[in-house]
Amino acid sequence: MEKSSGFRSGHDTGHLSFFMNAGKWALHQSWVYFYVVRDTRHSWKTTCVSWIEVILQSSIAPIAWLFVVFLDGGYYRCYRSQEFCLINEAILCKNSTIMLSYTSSRSFNSISDNGKYCPPCICVPDPTDASYLEAESQIYAWGLLMITGVAAFLVISCNRMCDKYTLVQRQYVETYKNVETQKFDAVAKVCFFYYC
């Protein structure tokens, strides 16, 4: 039973169709050629554009996570703290009592990279060094946010400038897509409850 949104019943393509919206359904149909009539197949250009669109949309969450991690600074400080904790320069390693407790442990060589780094300094770096590393991390966070914003602006602008639709045509197409999506979701819900 074929619908206008590209929906096919569960007998044709399995239950995968019930969990996909119309855009992902079209992408799915472009790769599943044996279910699609030759006249309704998507071109390779459309398929590539659809995949790029999905990849860009799915990269929003990782970029947001990286922004938050860099803004916090904890991971970056931990990653770079060994550069400020050389065993002969770190203030914490100049205390003989602390160093004796670390050097007497069996894991000293693995923690300190064979005596190169000061183990207590890596866990708790000097406050000046820690604030420097956190500030550097925050600079990377804001840089990542600006680069992502500029890239998104350029992609959206280029997409709109190279598009063949005028504003009125775009509004008509968007309205048609919304109606088609609503019909697809309604049919998918009915079929899901019918077959499951």
pLDDT given at position 8: 42
User: Across the chain, what does the average pLDDT equal?
Assistant: 77
pTM comes to 0.58
85 SS3 class? coil
Q: Identify the burial level of 144 via C-beta atoms within 10 angstroms of its C-beta, where 0-12 means exposed, 13-18 middle and 19 or more buried.
A: middle
Confidence band (pLDDT; 50, 70, 90) for 12?
very low
* pLDDT for 3: 41
For residue 88, the Cα-to-chain-centroid distance in whole angstroms is 41
Cβ 179 vs Cβ 171: under 8 Å: no
- C-alpha span between 31 and 61 (Å, rounded): 25
Per-residue pLDDT of 37-83, as tens digits, reads: 565 566 777 777 778 888 888 999 999 999 999 999 988 988 888 88
At 50, list the tokens: 């659809």
Q: Which residue type, as a one-letter code, is found at position 19?
A: F
- Which helix (H) or strand (E) is 146 found in, with range? helix 127-162
Residue 87: what residue type?
Answer: I
Taking the C-alpha atoms of residue 7 and residue 192, their distance in angstroms, rounded to an integer, is 12
Question: Which of 60, 61, 63 is CA-nearest to residue 140?
Answer: 63
- What is the rounded distance in angstroms from the CA atom of residue 98 to the CA atom of residue 162? 66
pLDDT in tens, 98-141: 788 888 888 888 878 888 888 878 777 888 888 999 999 999 99
